[in-house]
Every structure is written in structure tokens, then in C-alpha cells.
Amino acid sequence: MTSAAHKRKAWSVVIMSTLAFTVCFMIWMMFAVIGIPIMEQLDLNETQFGILIATPVLTGSLIRLPLGILTDKFGGRVVFFVLMLATVGPIWLMSVATEFWHFLVIGLFVGLAGGSFSVGISYCARWHEKSRQGTAMGVFGVGNVGAAVTKLVAPAIVVAYGWTMVPQVFAGVMLVTAILFWLFTYDDPAHRVPSHVTVREQLQVLKDPAVWKYCQYYSIVFGGYVALALWMTKYYVGEYGFDLTTAALLATAFSLPGGILRAVGGWMSDKWGAHRVTWWVLWVSWICLFIMSYPQTEFTVHTVTGPQIWEIRLSPELFTALLFTVGVAFAFGKASVFKYISDEFPDNIGVVSGIVGMVGGLGGFLLPIMFGAMVDLTGIRSSAFMLMYGVVWVSLIWMYTTEVRKLDYMGKKPKAAQTDTLDLE
């Protein structure tokens, strides 16, 4: 194959995989919008709502490791195509569900769409040389913008035709996308692991402590992204009193940059190294989440002229600006974590991306449930950001003790950040 032909096929794979992942992410985030009318229809509390919107995330997370292994074995094209076809029926069935348990069971099958990430990330990376893998994976990760597409499209469908029309439309979109993906993508047997390599041998890489560290990073930059993408529409409705359409539109201030700018994060990681990008992502997120954590407060100060009432609150404008900043940071972080993986585990991208993606997705499953439980327990909506703040703090401490501090003592750069020359402290 000539270089030009290979390049054309490589970018065709990336473009179609990105389109397919966008649609899969639209489906995965569907409950972020239709979950609100379903909550009213079924009279759910906050914890039940958290379980409802998180259910698809559970299977989409757990399936990532098996799908990563299958991708290494059989190639990304066939695995991606079969996965998309398998979700069409469950998506449509969502429109006829009437009981809470109906939505939970069907949601588990709809959630398979979320497993597409570990298929596409490995599929796209293997078509590019190492120096460009960060960019290729970043472009693929733009598919996270599907969360914003859902927030822009689904409310209009709900208002015009009712929430049951959303899964019917999305099922049709998924079917068409699967067909287009098959027509415009390619397979290269050289990208598969040798047939004599067993699953047990593939999983040996999970003994590396670095894999679990990257899982922790990804649980915040991706798991946190999924959780907030699911939660923010309802947060705007409850905290600021916006209607569904306005709340969903404002929530795109987080979902949109969190998807589109992932490609920029991939480029930055190729240029400056995964370590440096991830370090600053965590710091920016930590600061913003600290400010967002502060609940709306009213207190009385007894002065010489009498009681004075003071208020401390985030306006919708300031809150949205902070949310946008976190979305940008998470976008860069999602790309930089996978740059670590492609640099350190080039022969096991599918498996490692599968486990990291699984743990990140599990963060996206557990966090919305914990958000709802904390609101039910404390009555404070911003408790969701208090929780996120704590998770970022853990990641910062882990990175400092294993990477930044090690740099100071050893005078060396992390493996995934060989282009770094700046002392991060």
C-alpha cells in the first residue's frame, strides 16, 4: 500500500469512527434530557433519578475491557459495526417502556453504545504512527460532543412530539450510521494481536501500577464529564429555575467544549507530553470545582445600625463560565490520559484503553447516583461539586507522589512526557 493510500484510509477510519462515536455518545447521554420528563412521569426522587440516568453508563463501562480485547483480536471495524447494530432494538424499545424497572433493564442494553470508545480509540490509534497517535485519538474523542448534540436536539423533539419520540429518532440515526461506517472504513490484519497470544497474556499488563493510576485520572476527566453531562440539565432546572430547553442549552457550555476540544488536547499531548497537560488539567479543575462547591448562602451580621443580611451565591453567568472552564480542562485531560497509554503500552492499546475506559465509565455511573444521594441527604445541590473536588484532590496527590516528586529526586522525565523540559513545580 502506498503512503498516500494508507493515509487516506487512516483518516477515513478516524472520520467515520468519530461520527459513529458521536452517535453512540448521543445515545449514551439520552437520559440527560428524557430522564427529566420520565422522572416527573414516574414521580422519582433524586437518588432514583441518579440511578435512572446512570444505568446505561454501567454496561457501557463494564463492556469496555471485553470490547478492547475483541478489538485487538478481530479488528475495530467488525467489532464497532456489530456493536452499533446490537443497540438499535433496545434504543427503540425505550419509547414503549412504562415502569421504572423497564427503563433500568432496557437502559442496560442501550448502554452498550458507550463501550464503543475502547473499540474506536484502539482502531484509530493503530492506523497512525506514534508521533501522531495523540492527535488521531484526540480527533476520535471529539465524539464526546454527542452529549452536546443530545442537549441541543432532544429538547426540541420532546417539546414538539413528546419524550417517546427521542429514542425512536435516535434508533433510526444509529442504524443509518452503522451502515455508513461499514461502507467507508477499512480493516488491516496487521493491526491485530497474533493469534497465539491468549487473553490471559493480554491481561498481564493490568499488573502494572501505572495502568491503575491512569484509571484514577480518567475517572475524573471522563467519569466526571459523563456524570456532569448527565446531571447539569437538571441542576440548572433545580438551582436556577430554567425550563428544560434553556437548561439543556446552558448545559452545552460543559458538554460542547468537553467534546470538541479533545482533539486540541491530543495535539497538546503530542507537543508537550501527557504528563504536563494532565498536571495542569487537574489543577485548573480543582480550583474551579472549589468555587462551584460553595452553596448559595445567606447570613445575618448584627451591626451597630441593626441586622444586615448578606448573600453569597454564584450567578448563572459566573457558574456557566466556571462550568465551561471545567469542560475545556476535562477535554484536554481525556486526550492526555490516552497519550500516556499509547506511549507506554503500544502493543496493548486495546486492553489498557479498555480497562482505563471501563474504570472511567464506572466513575460516570457511580457519580450521578452519589450526586442524587448527597442531595437527598444534605439538601445542598452543590454537594455534587464538593464530591468532584475531592476526587480531583486524590488525583493531584497521586500524580505528585508518583511523577512530580519522582522527577525532582531522579532528575528524569516520565515515560509519557519525554518532551517536557519545564520543572512543574
| Cell triple for 75 | 479488528
The pLDDT of residue 109 is 95
Q: Has residue 306 been placed in a domain?
A: yes
Per-residue confidence (pLDDT) for residue 197, from 0 to 100: 61
In a domain, residue 420? The reply is no
Lowest mean pLDDT among 127-131, 313-317, 357-361: 127-131
What was the pLDDT predicted at 423?
37
User: Is 303 a member of any domain?
Assistant: yes
Q: What is the pLDDT of residue 383?
A: 92
Residue of higher predicted confidence among 417 and 293: 293
Beta carbons within 10 angstroms of residue 197's beta carbon: 14
- The residue among 410 and 232 whose pLDDT is bigger is 232
Which residues does residue 299 pair with via DSSP β-bridges, in sequence order?
310
User: Across all residues in the chain, what is the average pLDDT?
Assistant: 86
For 269-314, write each residue's pLDDT tens digit. Answer: 888 888 889 999 999 999 999 999 988 888 888 888 888 888 888 9
pLDDT reading at 78 higher than 80: yes
In a domain, 178, yes or no: yes
Hey, what's the torsion of the CAs at 363, 364, 370, 375, to 10 degrees?
Answer: 140
Whether 305 is covered by a domain: the verdict is yes
Give the dihedral of Cα atoms 423, 262, 66, 282; nearest 10 deg.
Answer: 40
Cell numbers at 286, concatenated: 480543582
Dihedral sign for Cα atoms in the order 37, 40, 43, 48? positive
**Mean pLDDT throughout 159-169?**
95
* The predicted structure's pLDDT at residue 425: 33
421: in domain: no
Q: Is the pLDDT of residue 227 over 50?
A: yes
**CB of 354 closer than 8 Å to CB of 69:** yes
Q: Do 21 and 140 contact (CB within 8 A), yes or no?
A: yes
For the segment 132-145, the average pLDDT, to the nearest whole number, is: 81
Which structural domain range is residue 97 located in?
Answer: 3-192+201-415
The answer to the question of residue 422 being in a domain is no
CATH number at residue 21: 1.20.1250.20
pLDDT at res. 407: 58
| Pairwise pLDDT comparison (149 vs 347), residue with the higher score | 149
Average pLDDT over residues 250-264: 83
Q: Determine contact, residues 139/13, Cβ cutoff 8 Å.
A: no
Return the minimum-mean-pLDDT range out of 12-26, 181-195, 268-282, 387-401. 181-195
**Mean pLDDT in residue range 50-65:** 88
418 has pLDDT over 50: no
Mean pLDDT is highest, among 82-91, 131-140, 389-398, for 82-91
Q: Which residues of 224-245 are buried (b: 16+ CB within 10 A; e: fewer)?
A: bbbbbbbbbbbbbbebbebebb
What's residue 68's pLDDT?
A: 81
Cα 83 to chain centroid, rounded: 18
Q: Of 17, 30, 215, which is closest to residue 117 (Cα–Cα)?
A: 17
Q: State residue 195's pLDDT score.
A: 58
Ramachandran area for residue 162 (φ above 0: left; ψ -120 to 50: alpha; else beta) = left
Domain presence at residue 368: yes
pLDDT of residue 37: 93
Please state the domain count of the chain.
1
